[in-house]
């Protein structure tokens, strides 16, 4: 096979686990090369994400020891036919890469690594993770359930993905947005080999907020809906205040005061809702996303 694979591994303060998992990644890469499923030019690319420990020094040492390793301070475009992204902690099943590569050779441009179960998680972790996916779904964010950042992407998808000019990238939601043919590979996730998790509850909440605000304007529309409901309630309040005033069960000036407050409140809520709708449209426009992506053609020209 002439398919060049780059295994891209983001690293942040991974000095405890990197020396262990680097050998595991190399073994899997060499196994795929020996089986003829990927080209000999395939490499392992460590991306140092601003680590404050000795992670970068370890990456540099690994690069000196073996040419299959390559280190970068930040990600950039590399010449590869397919890319597999995976965390450095060893929790994701490295052997699932072979199934991902097989999926690519079967014609799939994106192969998602999906956890088959969450039996190894605590109840709190399992509950918050399920709430995370359900919240994103309710907010209109298309996302693969129980998929994190373990996936295979072809060069075609990466090329089209480069047309998305936005800075805030929520990859879990944006990869499905590109729309190429995809499939899933299921695996069991293990305990972290060493070090501490970098995804506590606070970061998970921040990730959910990032996903919602990057890919959905539904919160703005919810505000508009609440504004409309508030306006209806305010109108009912005006009618109620007028009826009370006409029946003589109020003190002088009370009816006019309630009517004014309800009227102004309803106008404000409606205006906020309309402004929110326009802001949502502006927000989607400034991202300059492509209107469509052509995955396949039957022919390039008429009569060809």
pLDDT tens digit sequence for 8-38: 998 888 888 899 999 999 999 999 999 999 9
Q: pLDDT exceeding 90 applies to what percent of the chain?
A: 25
Confidence tier at 72 by pLDDT (50, 70, 90): confident
Q: Using CA atoms, how far apart are residues 146 and 130, in angstroms rounded to an integer?
A: 8
Cα-to-chain-centroid distance, residue 88: 18
> Among 32-36, 82-86, 211-215, whose mean pLDDT is lowest?
211-215
Band of pLDDT at residue 158, cut at 50, 70 and 90: confident
pLDDT band per the 50, 70, 90 thresholds, residue 102 = very high
**Is the confidence at residue 80, as pLDDT, over 90?**
no
Q: Which of 168, 175, 178 is nearest to 213 (CA)?
A: 168
Q: For residue 134, what are its two tokens?
A: 């359900």
Strands ordered across the beta sheet of 43-48: 69-72, 43-48, 5-11, 82-85, 147-154, 110-115, 182-187
Cα–Cα distances in angstroms (integers) from residue 73 to residues 76, 172, 287, in the given order: 10, 22, 26
What letter does residue 234 receive in the DSSP assignment?
A: H
Q: What are the DSSP E strand ranges found in the chain?
A: 5-11, 43-48, 69-72, 82-85, 110-115, 147-154, 182-187
Classify the phi-psi angles of 66: left when phi > 0, otherwise alpha if psi is within -120 to 50, otherwise beta: beta
**Selected residue with higher pLDDT from 112 and 91:** 112
Non-local CB neighbours of 273 within 8 Å, separated by 6+ positions: 223, 224, 225, 226, 227, 228
Residue with the two structure tokens 């190399």: 26
The answer to pTM > 0.75 is no
In the predicted model, is pLDDT for residue 292 greater than 70?
no
- Range picked from 53-57, 246-250, 295-299 for highest mean pLDDT: 53-57
């Amino acid at each position: 096979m002439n398919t060049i694979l780059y295994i891209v591994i983001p690293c942040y303060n991974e000095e405890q686990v990197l020396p262990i998992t680097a050998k595991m990644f190399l073994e899997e890469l060499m196994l795929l090369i020996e089986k003829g499923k990927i080209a000999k030019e395939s490499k392992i690319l460590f991306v140092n994400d601003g680590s404050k420990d000795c992670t970068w020094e370890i990456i540099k040492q690994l690069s000196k020891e073996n040419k299959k390793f390559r280190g970068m301070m930040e990600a950039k475009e590399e010449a590869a036919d397919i890319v597999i992204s995976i965390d450095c902690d060893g929790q994701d099943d490295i052997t699932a890469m072979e199934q991902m590569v097989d999926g690519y050779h079967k014609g799939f441009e994106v192969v998602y690594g999906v956890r088959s179960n969450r039996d190894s998680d605590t109840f709190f972790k399992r509950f918050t993770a399920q709430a995370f996916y359900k919240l994103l779904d309710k907010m209109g964010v298309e996302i693969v359930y129980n998929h994190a950042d373990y996936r295979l992407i072809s060069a075609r998808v990466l090329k089209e993905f480069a047309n998305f000019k936005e800075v805030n990238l929520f990859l879990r939601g944006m990869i499905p947005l590109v729309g190429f043919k995809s499939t899933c590979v299921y695996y069991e996730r293990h305990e972290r080999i060493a070090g501490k998790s970098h995804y506590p509850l606070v970061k998970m909440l921040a990730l959910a907020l990032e996903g919602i605000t990057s890919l959905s304007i539904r919160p703005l529309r919810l505000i508009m809906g609440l504004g409309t409901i508030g306006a209806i309630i305010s109108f009912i309040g005006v009618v109620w205040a007028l009826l009370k005033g006409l029946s003589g069960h109020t003190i002088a000036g009370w009816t006019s005061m309630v009517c004014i407050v309800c009227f102004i409140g309803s106008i404000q809520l409606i205006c906020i809702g309309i402004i929110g709708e326009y802001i949502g449209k502006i927000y989607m426009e400034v991202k300059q996303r492509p209107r469509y992506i052509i995955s396949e053609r039957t022919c390039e020209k008429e009569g060809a």
